[in-house]
Amino acid sequence: MKFFIDTANLNDIEQAYDMGILDGVTTNPSLMAKENIVGEENIIAHYKKICDIVEDKVSAEVLSTDLEGMIKEGEMLAAISPKIVVKIPMIKDGLKAIKHFAKKGIRTNCTLIFSAGQALLAAKAGATYVSPFVGRLDDISQDGMVLIEEIKTIFDQYPEHLNTEILAASVRHSMHLLNCAKLGADVATCPLKVFEALLNHPLTDKGLAQFIKDAESMTAVVEA
Ligand code: E4P
């Protein structure tokens, strides 16, 4: 399973990268706005900085919702770096834009996926990734994991025809991530705190404290 970090915060991206577990980054307009990135020049400069940190796969979302605008913006974003994956919303013009980019060999991430039908359409259009939002489904009392399972079942029927990867998004906590992994999602994108939550276990801390104590007594014996 690949791990992407879901943020536009450079410090968090660096921290996840330094953990040695990071395969990519996803951003969205809300995450970019949170970092106070305003205007085309600053948007481009910020994506350049993100691309300088990670090796590949930086999802950059278009702000337009019409075909012409999405194509223009997507091409501008893709020109920043070959690491950029153009993120396109799940709307009718979005499907056309995905098809356009697929023909040009530009990778896309179809975002705001809330049903298996939407995922299938995006895959048919040639999306590199589909992003089902598990947390936002949970927020309205629908089980986000059921959606991951449905998409996985459908995509697995057509291994030769559908090359689209399932990028589980809106992953809010470690159980979300582990359940997505159990179901075979190709990627999970989540905030830094979710990776950190995977790291910690009280028995690890207790065991290490004991090892350190015993190591000290061993050193004392050697020195005596
Ligand atoms: C994914 O690409 C989205 O940016 C993100 O996962 C949305 O997460 P949220 O529902 O926690 O805002």
Position of tokens 């995905």?
98
pTM of the model: 0.94
SS3 for 151? helix
Task: Please tell me the predicted confidence (pLDDT) of residue 98.
Answer: 98
Neighbours of 61 (CB within 10 A): 23
Question: Mean pLDDT throughout 189-209?
Answer: 96
The CATH code of the domain that includes 193 is: 3.20.20.70
Max CA pair span of the chain = 79
| Arithmetic mean of pLDDT over the chain | 96
Rounded to the nearest whole angstrom, what is the distance from the C-alpha of residue 40 to the centroid of ligand 1? 22
Question: Mean pLDDT throughout 20-41?
Answer: 97
Question: Mean pLDDT throughout 18-38?
Answer: 97
Ligand 1 near 189 CB (within 6 A): yes
Test site for ligand 1: of 4, 28, 30, 192, most ligand atoms within 8 A of the Cβ = 28
Rounded to the nearest whole angstrom, what is the distance from the C-alpha of residue 220 to the centroid of ligand 1? 52
Question: Mean pLDDT throughout 116-128?
Answer: 98
Residue 123 CA to residue 101 CA, distance in Å, equals 13
Q: Complex ipTM, two decimals?
A: 0.96
The parent domain of residue 13 ranges over 2-223
Task: Please tell me the predicted confidence (pLDDT) of residue 221.
Answer: 61
Tokens of 196: 């950190």
- How many separate domains does the chain show? 1
Task: Please tell me the predicted confidence (pLDDT) of residue 219.
Answer: 80
- Please enumerate in sequence order all residues whose Cβ is within 8 A of that of 75, keeping only pairs 6 or more positions apart, or say none: 106
pLDDT digit string (tens) for 59-93? 999 999 999 999 999 999 999 999 999 999 999 99
Task: Please tell me the predicted confidence (pLDDT) of residue 177.
Answer: 98
